[in-house]
Chain A
Amino acid sequence: MKIAITSTNNSLDSTFDLRFGRAAYFCIFNTEDLSTEFIENKNVNTKSGAGNKAAQTIIESGVSRVISGDFGPKAKDMLNKFKIQMVMLDDDSKTISSIIEQLKSNNNYA
């Protein structure tokens, strides 16, 4: 399965982004082949509906779980509609690679 992690930049040593709708990038981690891919969030500076739009990006990339700091009500509604699990993490000092390592070691993406 694919897990999306909100990221402040486009590499594995970037730090975690607490914002969902206005995250800079989405890191898509594929648990089957352990590959990662960074998708730029083109709607960071949009004036409204950033969460709705980000949810759409996530849904289209075939993700089943999203890890972010917080989800707004509209993003939540949309992600719920597609049964995408939302996981909240509040530590913005973590890097993307450390989060991925944690996922791997917990093997907690069954």
Chain B
Amino acid sequence: MPIKIAVASGKGGTGKTTVTVTLFHYIKENITSKVQIADCDVEEPNSSIFFDDLKPIESKEVLQMIPSINTDRCSFCKKCVDYCEFNATVVIPGVGFAEVNSALCHSCGACLYACPEDALTEKSHAIGQLIKFGNNQETPLIEGKLKVGSAMQTMVINHLVNDDWLNGDIILYDAPPGTSCSVVSTVSQANYIILVTEPTPFGLHDLKLMIELVRKLNKPFGVIINKADKGFEETNTYLMSEGIEILAEIPFRVDYASSYAQGSILKNIPGDINAAYSKLISNLKNKWVHYA
């Protein structure tokens, strides 16, 4: 069984993706070469921009089965409307109109069960795709991408995190920002959760929401303080008072940040950043004994 680690943060801008990608490289060098990233930010997947050497090599569609109503058979009884918890079905008897709104349908199947006339049949709709990025030797990144206009983030994420393309020893889930259902879908499938935060009042506010969420899910977690040299001590104080483990404090270096953009994350890594990640790796190694 692979070890699955979700990297999540509150709102965007904490450097979650750069932390995920850097961690990926450190794991590869220090723990196992079989590490993969699943980019679960399906609305705006962007991990691939940090991998110059990878190309999309294969993709598959994520399909959702959505019922459609055959109005020749339909008696406009509206049973399907009563059964649909998501208000996806619209039946207007007077004008002979009956339709399922595919953007609202969650494929629960209740309407199929409810219909006395057998007027509903399921049809498959593409709601997104999974894209495998790789080179000649390996496929370290799988991206989930939601089709524009679809609201089925969680369905695409569930397909992604359970896909057999993810077959490494360690899988890093790059979670979507925020505390939405999409985040829950991502982190609830992980063995361990890393929360990335920025030491600012806003960052702390978001972090508290995330902590509340992962505690509800009853998942083991730790925190990485990114851009840690901002002089905002409340984050550390809060985490200590709550007995939450600080996995690493990563300082901010402008010149180094620009090398991210060029995809050369591990080249010329400043000593203090290297030290922070090395500490993180040894911290995680100790934990993974329990999950492996």
Contact = CB atoms under 8 A, between A and B. Distances in A.
Given A48-B104, A74-B103, A74-B104, A53 B94 contact: no
A56 B92 contact: yes
B92 to A, nearest CB: 6
A49 B92 contact: no
A78 B87 contact: no
B264 interface: no
B94 A49 contact: no
Q: How many B residues are at the interface, by size bracket?
A: 10 to 19
B86 interface: yes
A60 B94 contact: yes
Contact of A53 (B87, B95, B97): B87
Contacts of B92: 56, 59-60
The DSSP consensus for interface residues of chain A is helix
Contact of A50 (B87, B90, B97, B101): B87
A52 B101 contact: yes
Interface string B81-122: 100001110111011010001011000000000000000000
Contacts of A78: 90, 101
Contact of B88 (A52, A55, A60): A52
Q: How large is the interface on A (under 10, 10 to 19, 20 to 34, 35 or more residues)?
A: 10 to 19
Contacts of A46: 87
Interface in B238-286: none
A49 B103 CA distance: 9
A43 interface: yes
B183 to A, nearest CB: 17
B86 to A, nearest CB: 5
A2 to B, nearest CB: 14
Contacts of B103: 74
Nearest to B106: A48
B87 A48 contact: yes
Interface string B9-35: 000000000000000000000000000
Given A56-B92, A74-B104, 20 more contacts: A43-B87, A47-B86, A48-B87, A48-B104, A49-B86, A49-B88, A49-B101, A49-B104, A52-B87, A52-B88, A52-B90, A52-B101, A52-B104, A53-B87, A56-B91, A59-B97, A74-B101, A81-B97, A82-B95, A82-B97
7 contacts: A47-B86, A49-B88, A52-B88, A60-B92, A60-B94, A74-B101, A78-B90
Give 10 closest A-B pairs by Cβ, nearest first.
A49-B87, A53-B87, A49-B104, A48-B86, A56-B90, A52-B87, A49-B86, A59-B92, A52-B101, A46-B87
